[in-house]
Amino acid sequence: MPVAPAHGATMAGVPVLDPVTAPAVDESSSTDDEAVRPWLVVVWDDPINLMSYVTMVLRRVFGYPRERAERLMLQVHHEGRAVVAEEPREQAELHVAQLHGYGLQATLERDT
Amino acid sequence: MAGLEADADGIRLRLEVTEARVLGSLARGLAGRIERAAASDVTDDVVLEPLLPAGSRGDAAVDAELRGLVRDDLVSLRSGRLLDLADLLGVDEGGAGPDADLDRVLDPDGAMRVVEALNDLRLALAATVGYAGASAEHRDGPPDPDDAEAVRRSETGRLIDALAWLQGGLIEFIEDD
């Protein structure tokens, strides 16, 4: 992480802005950041969905190879939940809907 | 007794007539329950909770938005395949049938439809009794025969586990294809 210059100091003759007189933060840039920040697709453990079924569904919905799908399934099983994808909101919504269609308990979360 | 065996054209599913009748009735009954709830905008049916799940935990706005987007599609998807299962098993709209044991060969797509419908049934059955899983049922031991509710829970748990066996066998066939 870079160290901030001292107040009034310059870097190669370029004055550093005094924080008191610095222009206000551009709100549109933080909105843009939020727009591109990925959303998380989370699958939750439950006592009904079979491990083989969860693995198969993850392969069908996301196209994951068997090994990755099994690894995620085991994480759901042992830890109670797993992030199975990080993607733009629209795609994440579609995938959560597909997982719901298969009966998995899946939710959408903002990536913090 | 239910059975699965490999066949040249797919997987052969055999069910005794009583098994097919019970399973088909459950499928048709659940399809009707889903459709009635959707038509009346019911949102607090505990049996339907796992079938129309939350879109977010902790963000009510995201949850509401996602539910609104997918609810109708989920309803028609679920009721459609449950009714297909009932038709496969020979249980008609009036709840009658079948008259004979079931002996059908399923291709991979057909088997997948059955797998998905069985999953819906298991989710709904579990919700009716607060089922906590096969290991929990095993750990708790047999129910007190004088406790009607405990007996019902135990019988429902055994049905859920039996359907799990059927579902697992079909998944093995599909994944081997």
Distance CA A112, CA A96 (A): 19
Q: Closest CB to B56: pick one of A46, A50, A109.
A: A109
Q: Return the pLDDT at A2.
A: 36
Length of chain B: 177
Q: Is the pLDDT of residue A44 over 50?
A: yes
In chain A, how many H helices and how many E strands? Answer: 4, 5
What would the two tokens of residue A34 be? 């939020």
How many Cα atoms are found within 13 Å in the side-chain-facing hemisphere of B17? 6
Q: Is the pLDDT of residue A10 over 70?
A: no
Give Cβ neighbours of residue A81 (< 8 Å, ≥ 6 apart): A42, A43, A44, A45, A75
Distance CA A41, CA A99 (A): 10
A65 touches chain B (CB under 8 A): no
pTM attached to this predicted model? 0.84
CA distance B73 to chain A (A): 9
Q: Chain B contacts of A51, Cβ < 8 Å?
A: none
Q: Is the pLDDT of residue A12 over 60?
A: no
Q: Return the pLDDT at B136.
A: 66
Q: What does R_g of chain A's alpha carbons equal in angstroms?
A: 22
B59 touches chain A (CB under 8 A): yes
Q: What is the mean pLDDT of residues A31-41?
A: 77
Q: Return the pLDDT at A76.
A: 97
Q: Specify the residue for token string 């059975």.
A: B3
For residue A103, is it left (φ>0), alpha (ψ between -120 and 50) or beta?
A: left
Residue A77: helix, strand or coil by DSSP? helix
Q: Is the pLDDT of residue A21 over 70?
A: no
CB-based contact B55 A46, cutoff 8 Å: no
Binned at pLDDT 50, 70 and 90, residue A35 comes out as low
- Which residues partner with B106 through β-bridges? B11
| DSSP letter assigned to residue B156 | H
**What is the pLDDT tens value at each position of chain B, 177 positions in all?**
778 998 999 999 999 999 999 999 999 999 999 998 888 876 678 888 899 899 999 899 999 999 989 999 999 999 999 999 999 999 988 888 888 999 999 999 999 999 999 999 999 999 988 776 766 666 667 788 888 888 888 888 889 999 999 999 999 999 986
CB-based contact B175 A52, cutoff 8 Å: yes
CA distance A11 to chain B (A): 45
Q: Is the pLDDT of residue A111 over 60?
A: yes
Distance CA B153, CA B131 (A): 8
Pair A47, B132: CB distance under 8 Å: yes
CA distance to A57, A89, B141, B168, per residue, from A65 (Å): 11, 23, 39, 20
How many Cα atoms are found within 13 Å in the side-chain-facing hemisphere of A54? 27
To which H or E segment does residue A85 belong? strand A81-87
How many C-beta neighbours within 10 Å does residue A27 have? 8
Mean pLDDT across chain A: 81
Q: Return the pLDDT at B38.
A: 84
Q: What angle do CA B177, A48, B105 make, to 5 degrees?
A: 35
Q: What is the mean pLDDT of residues A53-82?
A: 97
CB pairs under 8 A between A and B: 77
Q: Return the pLDDT at B129.
A: 85
